[in-house]
Structure 1
Amino acid sequence: MDPRSEVLLRQPEYFGGDLLLAGLPADDLLGHLPAAHGWSWHAGEQAALTARFAGRSHFGVTPPEGAFERALLFLPKSRELADYLLDSLAARLAGRELFLVGEKRGGIERASKRLADYGTPRKLDSARHCQLWQVTVERAPDTPDLHGLAQRYELSLADGPLSVVSLPGVFSHGRLDRGTALLLEHLDGLPSGPLLDFGCGAGVLGAVLKRHYPDNPVTLLDVDAFAVASSSLTLSANGLDAEVIAGDGIDAAPSGLAAILSNPPFHQGVHTDYQATEHLLRQAVRHLAPGGELRLVANSFLKYPPLIEQHLGPCRTLAEGDGFRIYRAARR
């Protein structure tokens, strides 16, 4: 059981009835709260919740349409995303209770101060290195406009400017990260056929690929619903057509790919996690056509080449700079 869920269950008197759990972990919490339902934006956690509690969790970037008596937010890592989520919930809870739970190392004490915008917050519990807060919403905000919260910027590329649309919570929100910038310089010579942008974020790499290889089908894949929405907005802003899908890692990708390109993530919440990237390196061969390429950027300190060579083929370093390396390998 997630420690944040354990803290909730120490205070069962607050969590009966029609409760919305926003950003809930994929543990047994819904089993302990039979009248509650969830809202998730993580495709992997949503799949696990659906498998165990069919019909009780909503997936997307906005709350479910139905009414709920109270809501609890599991604090996300991103401050901008937390602000959007709190406002989205508080807008639906005039005169009712909103709860916030999170780890101390995840910034719960700072985030709890945001509850004062809605009423008088109070701490209900502190345990398992977590805190649980509550506020009765006396000042409900307007429903936030998610697209209005997007940050937009433009990249100057050799074939013209590219508009990027980034929603709250998306990796490298509102700016081009250094790793992707380096990878964009090494996209030439890809084989003909379907291309995959794995961990697409705001869709920069996928949009550049589609413009650079207009005859190649391009798929953009991310585990996060906000990233999927951002990528769709970026493609639309540039008049590009590509498939964007939400899925839990490389297993959700199509097969027969000519190339997989990625600036893969290695963080999940406040904890470091290399699992998704390591799984990509182990399973890429199952999704690549014979001769298909894996091309990715990674921090120089990450020891990915041995894993790539074990599961795919000889690994070559195409470039190095600013603390990053570009690796290339082809399916034997």
Structure 2
Amino acid sequence: MEPRSEVVIRQHDYLSGRVLLVNAPTDDLLSNLAHDIEASIWTWNYNEFQYFQNLKADVHFGTDLPESDFDQAVIFVPKSKELLNYILHNLVSRLPVGASIFLVGEKKGGVERAAKQLQPYGQTTKLDSARHCQMWQLTTNTTVTAKPLTQWAQHYNVATPAGELTICALPGVFSQNHLDIGTAVLLPYLKQVTSGKIADFGCGAGVISAYLSKLNPKNRIFALDVDAFALASTQMTFEKNSLPLEQLEVKAVTGIEDAPLFLHAIVSNPPFHQGIQTDYNASETLCKTARRHLKSGGELWIVANRFLNYPLLIEQSFSQCTTKADQQGFKVLFANTQKNLKEER
């Protein structure tokens, strides 16, 4: 069991009734709660959603709170300060004055900073500090009205050869305030991507998907991400730029294994974080197995930090890997499957 969950169990007597666990660790916490506690879970991570589904837990996946009622909530501190603001605002909008919201996190994960975000909503008390973690209690003394999801998005403009795009990025989504360097390096090469059925793996706020739509309105784009806030951001970005929604399909995935088959191209600025931890599994698996999802002659386009060994992994799968660009610490990598001559006839 994770240290954060152990701290919750240590302070178990504070919990009662229907308890919503927000951003909970994938461990044995649920099985260690008392039988009189009715626990439910809210997550926006599709991997975690599937983990709790397999446990037959009452779990909700999405950007919105579950519709079912709850008496208390336990928030496991997310990486993003803005995302915590969103969570707190929505929880307080649903709970009566005097209700308890608990905050749990690691010191290295910023729990002390996060605890200060509780203060506008009521009285805060530190309940525990152990195992490099802290647990805080907020007793609410106010209520708020929930705001529409669109009001939580930040906007910034991206210049492209096909015209300017306005990007809508929700709290917690990668590169929420500005275009990241990797995607900026990749963008000029997207006009070389073959048209057709294209997957944007790790779509984030939808920069790549939106530009691919602008380049060719006949492209069919699959925006794939593990994060519900990323999928919602991509949809908002399409709507903001009046791009055809019939061109877009947003899909929650655990990894590239959930991508459609017979794609003309996969384009990715692949993810490498799981919470506050660095995790290259998803992007390495993409390099190793993307070929299975491409049709004959299909293309793989990736931008990645130049120090990563992705070219070798791609070569092992595709027999070749071309470096299209190497600048500002990033490489644009390209590979394609061998065309089947029978298909061309």
TM-score by length of 1: 0.96
Which residue in 2 is equivalent to 1:12? 12
1:145 Cα shift?
3.4
Give the SS at the match of 2:322. Answer: strand
Distance of aligned partners of 1:316 and 1:330 in 2 relative to their CA distance in 1, 3 Å threshold: same
**Shift of residue 98 of structure 1?**
0.4
Aligned to 2:163: 160
Contact persistence 1:19–1:70 (CA under 8 A): yes
- Gaps spanning 5+ residues in structure 1: where? none
Structure 2: distance between partners of 1:86 and 1:313: 50
- Cα displacement string for residues 201-235 of structure 1 (whole angstroms, at most 9, x for unaligned residues): 00010111122122221110010000000000001
Query: Counterpart in 1 of 2:66?
Result: 64
Residue 32 (structure 1) aligns with: 32
**Could you tell me which residue of structure 2 aligns to residue 262 of structure 1?**
268
Q: Report the equivalent of 2:341.
A: none
User: Which deviations, in whole Å up to 9, do the C-alpha atoms of 1:221-266 show, x marking residues without a partner?
Assistant: 0100000000000011122221111111111210101111000111
Letter in 2 for 1:73: I
Q: Distance in 2 between matches of 1:103 and 1:144?
A: 29
1:104-160: CA deviations, max 9, x gaps? Answer: 111100111121112221111112211111011112233243311211122222222
Among 225, 228, 231, which residue is 1:222 paired with?
A: 225
Mean CA deviation greater in 292-301 or 22-31? 22-31
Query: How much does 1:28 deviate?
Result: 2.2
Q: State the partner residue of 2:186.
A: 183
Where does residue 301 of structure 1 map in the other structure?
A: 307
Q: Which secondary structure state, in structure 2, belongs to the residue aligned with residue 160 of structure 1?
A: coil
- Kindly provide the CA deviation profile for residues 47-70 of structure 1, in whole angstroms up to 9, marking residues without a partner as x: 11111124x011111111121110
- Could you tell me which residue of structure 1 aligns to residue 343 of structure 2? none
Structure 2 unaligned blocks of 5 or more: 339-345
In the alignment, structure 1 residue 147 sits paired with structure 2 residue 153? no
User: CA–CA distance in 2 between the matches of 1:15 and 1:119?
Assistant: 18
Which position in structure 1 is the counterpart of 2:76? Answer: 74
Distance in 1, Cα, partners of 2:319 & 2:256: 18
- 8 Å Cα contact 1:263/1:298 also seen in 2: yes
| Among candidates 224, 243, 250, match of residue 256 of structure 2 | 250
Q: Give the secondary-structure state (helix, strand or coil) at the position aligned to 1:21.
A: strand
Q: Does 1:231 align with 2:237?
A: no
The answer for the alignment partner of 2:130 in structure 1 is 127
Distance 1:168 1:103 in 2: 20
Q: Is the 8 A contact 1:285 1:331 kept in 2?
A: yes
d(CA) in 1 for partners of 2:337, 2:130:
49
Which amino acid is 2:263 matched to?
L
CA separation in 1, counterparts of 2:265 and 2:130? 47
Residue 116 of structure 2 aligns to which amino acid in structure 1? Answer: K
Q: Letter of the aligned partner of 1:75 in structure 2?
A: V
Quote the Cα distance in structure 1 between the aligned partners of 2:71 and 2:188: 51
Output the CA distance in 2 between the equivalents of 1:310 and 1:129.
42
Which secondary structure state, in structure 2, belongs to the residue aligned with residue 170 of structure 1? coil
Q: Would you say 1:98 and 2:104 are equivalent positions?
A: no
**How high is the sequence identity, in percent, across the aligned residues?**
50
Moved more, 268-277 or 134-143: 134-143
Which amino acid is the alignment partner of residue 214 of structure 1? P
Aligned to 2:89: 87
Q: Which moves more between the two structures, 223-232 or 23-32?
A: 23-32
Name which of structure 1's ranges 73-82 and 29-38 shifts more when overlaid on structure 2.
29-38
Q: Which amino acid aligns with 2:315?
A: E
What's the offset of the Cα at 1:24? 1.1
Give the Cα–Cα distance (whole angstroms) in 1 for the partners of residues 177 and 24 of structure 2: 26
Q: How many corresponding residue pairs?
A: 331
1:115 corresponds in structure 2 to: 118
Partner of 1:278: 284
Q: Distance in 1 between matches of 2:40 and 2:312?
A: 43
Give the CA deviation at 1:311: 2.0
Letter in 2 for 1:92: R
Q: TM-score, normalised by structure 2?
A: 0.93
2: CA distance, partners of 1:296 / 1:288: 14
